[in-house]
Amino acid sequence: NAGVTQTPKFRVLKTGQSMTLLCAQDMNHEYMYWYRQDPGMGLRLIHYSVGEGTTAKGEVPDGYNVSRLKKQNFLLGLESAAPSQTSVYFCASSPPHTGALNTEAFFGQGTRLTVV
C-alpha cells in the first residue's frame, strides 16, 4: 500500500522561483492537509481541504496556494519562494471526522525544501 506519497522529496529553489509540491493518497480519504515543520515550532497547518474542489486556510497560509481538483491529489504551490519558506513540508490525509472527533491522520514522507 502506497498510502500518502509526496513528490519531490528534496528541492533547492532560488529566491523568487516557483514550484508545486504534489501529494497523492490512495486511501480514498476526504480530508487532506499541508503542514510545515520547523525546529521548535512543531507542525503548522498551511492549508487543508475537506473534499474535492474545496480548500481552506490554516494557521500560516501566506505565500502558498493549494488546489484539490481530484480527490486523491492535493497540490501546494509557492508562487515566489522566499528563504523564510525553507522548511520540511508534510502532506496528510484522513477519513471524514465524526462530530467532535478527529480521525487518524496519515502522513507522507515529507519534502525538504531549501530556498537560497
Partner 1 sequence: GQQVMQIPQYQHVQEGEDFTTYCNSSTTLSNIQWYKQRPGGHPVFLIQLVKSGEVKKQKRLTFQFGEAKKNSSLHITATQTTDVGTYFCAGKLRSGGTASKLTFGTGTRLQVTL
28, 20 in Cβ contact below 8 A?
no
Among 31, 34, 64, 74, binds partner 1 (CB under 8 A): 31
Which of 24, 78, 108, 115 forms a contact with partner 1 (CB under 8 A)? 108
85 — phi, psi (to 5°)?
-95, 5
Q: How far is the CB of 14 from partner 1 (least distance, A)?
A: 26
Which cell numbers in the block locate residue 61? 497560509
Smallest distance, partner 1 to C-beta of residue 18, A: 25
User: Looking at beta carbons only, is 18 or 109 nearer to partner 1?
Assistant: 109
> What are the grid coordinates assigned to 47, written together?
492549508
Nearest residue to 22 (alpha-carbon basis) of 70, 82, 87, 80: 70
62 is a site residue for partner 1 (CB under 8 A): no
